[in-house]
C-alpha cells in the first residue's frame, strides 16, 4: 500500500509540474506556438514521462483547466449563497492566471489567449449549465434556459479575462473578479428578496 501511495504522489507531482509549465508558457507565447519539448524543458522532465501521463499538449491543457476548476470546486462546501456557489470558479481562475503572469510577465497575443479561452469556455459552460440545472437560483426569476444563462456567465467571464490581461496598469485578480460580479450578479439575484 505504501508503494502505491508513493507512486500516486509522484504521478500527482509530475502532472502538477506539467500543468504549471504549460500555464507559464501560455503567458509567454501563443498556445499554438508551444511545443511539448518546451513544456518538458520548463518542467525538467523527459519525453517519456510526459507521454506516460498525457497523449498530447491538448490533453494536458484540458487536464490543467479541469484541475484548476476541481481545486476551486473543493471550496464549495464553504459557500452557502447560491450565487457564490454558481460563480465558484471566477476568483480562483483569475488568481491562477495572476500567479502565472507574475512568473512570466511577457503577455501572449490575443489570438493565443483565444485558443485557451475556447477550451476554458467549453468546460465552464458544461459545468455552469449542470450547476444551474441541479440547483436553480430562484423560483421568482424569469425563466431563462439554463444553457443560455450558462453561456452568458461564461462569455462575460472570458470578456473580463481578456480586458484584464490587456489592462495597464492591471487590476488585481480580486478587482477583476469584482468587475465580473458587477456584470453578472444582478441577473442572478433578480427576484431574490433583499
Which residues, at least 6 apart from 138, have a Cβ–Cβ distance to it below 8 Å?
82, 190, 191, 192
**Per-position pLDDT tens, the chain of length 194:** 455 455 578 888 999 999 999 988 888 888 989 999 999 999 999 999 999 999 999 999 999 999 999 999 888 777 788 888 899 999 999 999 888 776 555 455 455 678 889 999 999 999 999 998 887 666 555 578 899 999 999 999 999 999 998 888 889 999 999 999 999 999 888 744 33
Q: Are 155 and 128 in contact (CB under 8 A)?
A: no
Give the DSSP letter of residue 31.
G
Q: What is the helix (H) or strand (E) element at residue 170, kind and residue range?
A: none
Q: What is the helix (H) or strand (E) element at residue 133, kind and residue range?
A: helix 110-134
Query: Cell numbers at residue 88, please?
Result: 465558484
- What's the CA angle centered on 31, arms 122 and 105, to 5 degrees? 110
Domain boundaries, the chain: 57-189
CA atoms within 13 A on the CB side of 21: 21
CA separation for the pair 127, 121 (Å, rounded)? 10
Nearest to 20 by CA among 59, 69, 64, 72: 64
What predicted TM-score, i.e. pTM, was given to this entire model?
Answer: 0.82
Amino acid at each position: 500500500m505504501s508503494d502505491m501511495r508513493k507512486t500516486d504522489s509522484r504521478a500527482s507531482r509530475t502532472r502538477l509540474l506539467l500543468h504549471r509549465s504549460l500555464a507559464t508558457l501560455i503567458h509567454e507565447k501563443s498556445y499554438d506556438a508551444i511545443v511539448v519539448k518546451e513544456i518538458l524543458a520548463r518542467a525538467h522532465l523527459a519525453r517519456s514521462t510526459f507521454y506516460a501521463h498525457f497523449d498530447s499538449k491538448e490533453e494536458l491543457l484540458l487536464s490543467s483547466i479541469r484541475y484548476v476548476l476541481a481545486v476551486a470546486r473543493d471550496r464549495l462546501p464553504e459557500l452557502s449563497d447560491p450565487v457564490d456557489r454558481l460563480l465558484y470558479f471566477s476568483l480562483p481562475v483569475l488568481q491562477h492566471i495572476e500567479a502565472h503572469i507574475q512568473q512570466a510577465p511577457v503577455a501572449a497575443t490575443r489570438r493565443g489567449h483565444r485558443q485557451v479561452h475556447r477550451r476554458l469556455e467549453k468546460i465552464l459552460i458544461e459545468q455552469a449549465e449542470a450547476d444551474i440545472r441541479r440547483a436553480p437560483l430562484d423560483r421568482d426569476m424569469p425563466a431563462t434556459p439554463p444553457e443560455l444563462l450558462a453561456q452568458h456567465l461564461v462569455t462575460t467571464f472570458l470578456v473580463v479575462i481578456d480586458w484584464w490581461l490587456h489592462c495597464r496598469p492591471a487590476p488585481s485578480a480580486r478587482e477583476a473578479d469584482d468587475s465580473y460580479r458587477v456584470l453578472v450578479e444582478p441577473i442572478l439575484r433578480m427576484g431574490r428578496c433583499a
